[in-house]
Amino acid sequence: MKKLAFFDTKPYDKEWFDKYNKDYEITYFESKLTARSVKLAEGFDAVCAFVNDQINEYVIDKLCEYGIGIIAMRCAGYNNIDMKYAKDKIKVVRVPAYSPYAVAEHAMAMLQTLNRHLHKAYNRTRDFNFSIVGLTGTDLHGKTAGVIGTGKIGRVFIDICRGFGINVLAYDPYPIPDSDINYTDLDTLLRESDIISLHCPLTDETYYTLDKRAFRLMTKKPYIINTSRGGLIDSSALLDALNSETIRGAVLDVYEEETELFYEDNSDKIIHDDVLSLLVSRPNVIITSHQAFLTEEALAAISETTLGNLNEYFSKKENGDNEKLTNEV
């Protein structure tokens, strides 16, 4: 049996991978895959990694030195891998689509929670406080949502918005041809939207899509939703926009400095990230810990696709296909 080193393991990973695995001897490590932990991969045939592992040149060199030919990412994004460096050295596979519904539904759930103050209402009624003062929201019906990125998740989010009677504007440099989506340029979207939701990947081009300039263009005091990647928003500029009431609020499933914090219980620690501390303290900000993907359907699809990607790689390798040179991402 091939040996798989599984990094950044959480109990739900183990549960779902064990359910679908037949072909691999999997060792589950709690540690993230980083320059410090890569030694754990020695003696394995493959590694499986996740969104906050740090797969830089050093890690890639070490994996190659250990004779490992494949990194199986159990996620869609791959911005945490030095792909340029990996290109001709090691095969990288990922799960490009598992459940766009999981992420898009979470985005809408977060928006609804903030807009109708459900988080506060829940806490109040648990304490038999049945006051509704301060819980006024707005109708979403008739508002305009600006969707940045109309790929798999963006499109599902657009459908959900339409179900609410929300008008949709969209920006994507690669618009879907002949679609019924109302595309516009980014500045117009920023100016005209009551809700702005990010659904594009993090690349050099999309880094800080929402920066100081972008927030200055927002005239309709929008809600900001980010379920994509933290680096799409300049968090300090976001904080300024909240302080100046340029925006109505923000819901964030991702944060640009999340790597050391998200997915862990830090409740007994002093958090030295002042921007995050200030964001958490704002009444009109809700943060979740990169959990938008976390549904049973998505976890099942992630396990099946990741194991399928590994099977395909090893069977091609056994048949003499040089898969190493075909990184498509």
Active site residues: 229, 258, 290
Kind and range of the H or E element at 192? helix 186-192
Q: Which of the stretches 17-25, 138-146, 277-285, 286-294 binds ligand NAI when contact is defined by CB under 6 A?
A: 286-294
Q: Please identify, using beta-carbon distances, which residue of 210 and 310 lies nearer to ligand NAI.
A: 210
**Strand, helix or coil for residue 41:** helix
* The pair of three-digit structure tokens given for residue 278, joined into one six-digit string: 């200030």
Residue 84, CA distances (Å) to 34, 70, 81, 148, 168 in order? 18, 15, 9, 26, 36
Q: Exactly one of 17, 44, 223, 293 binds ligand NAI (CB under 6 A); which one?
A: 293
How would you class 120 by CB atoms within 10 Å of its CB: exposed for 0-12, middle for 13-18, buried for 19 or more? middle
- The answer to whether 91 contacts ligand NAI (rule: CB under 6 A) is no
Draw the binding track, 46-85, toward ligand NAI (x: CB under 6 A; -: no contact).
------------------------------xx--------
**Among 47, 90, 115, 154, which residue interacts with ligand NAI (rule: CB under 6 A)?**
154
Complex with ligand NAI: residue 193 or 206, whichever CB lies closer: 206
Size (the chain), residues: 329
By CB under 6 A, residue 290 contacts ligand NAI? yes
User: Residue 117 interacts with ligand NAI (CB under 6 A)?
Assistant: no
Among residues 193, 227, 309, 327, which is the contact residue for ligand NAI, using CB under 6 A?
227
CA distance 165 to 162: 5
- Phi first, then psi: give them for residue 273, nearest 5 degrees: -90, 100
- Token digits for 211? 């920066």
Binding mask 247-266 for ligand NAI (x = CB under 6 A): ------xx------------
94 binds ligand NAI (CB under 6 A): no
Closer residue to ligand NAI (CB): 173 or 320 = 173
Indicate whether 199 belongs to the interface with ligand NAI (CB under 6 A): yes
Cα-Cα end-to-end distance for the chain: 28
The answer to the question of residue 171 lying near ligand NAI (CB under 6 A) is yes
Q: How far is the CB of 98 from ligand NAI (least distance, A)?
A: 8
Instruction: Supply the DSSP symbol for 170.
Output: E
Residue 115 or 206 having the CB closest to ligand NAI: 206
98: nearest Cα among 262, 307, 325, 323: 307
Which CB, 63 or 99, lies closer to ligand NAI? 99
CA 308/CA 24 separation, integer angstroms: 11
In terms of CB distance, is 41 or 233 closer to ligand NAI? 233
**Residues 6 or more apart from 73 whose CB is under 8 A from it?**
48, 49, 50, 81, 92, 93, 94, 95, 306
Q: Which residues pair with 144 in a beta bridge?
A: 167
Residue 292 binds ligand NAI, judged by CB under 6 A: yes
Binding site for ligand NAI (CB under 6 A): 76-77, 97, 100, 103, 148-154, 171-174, 199-202, 205-206, 227-229, 253-254, 290, 292-293
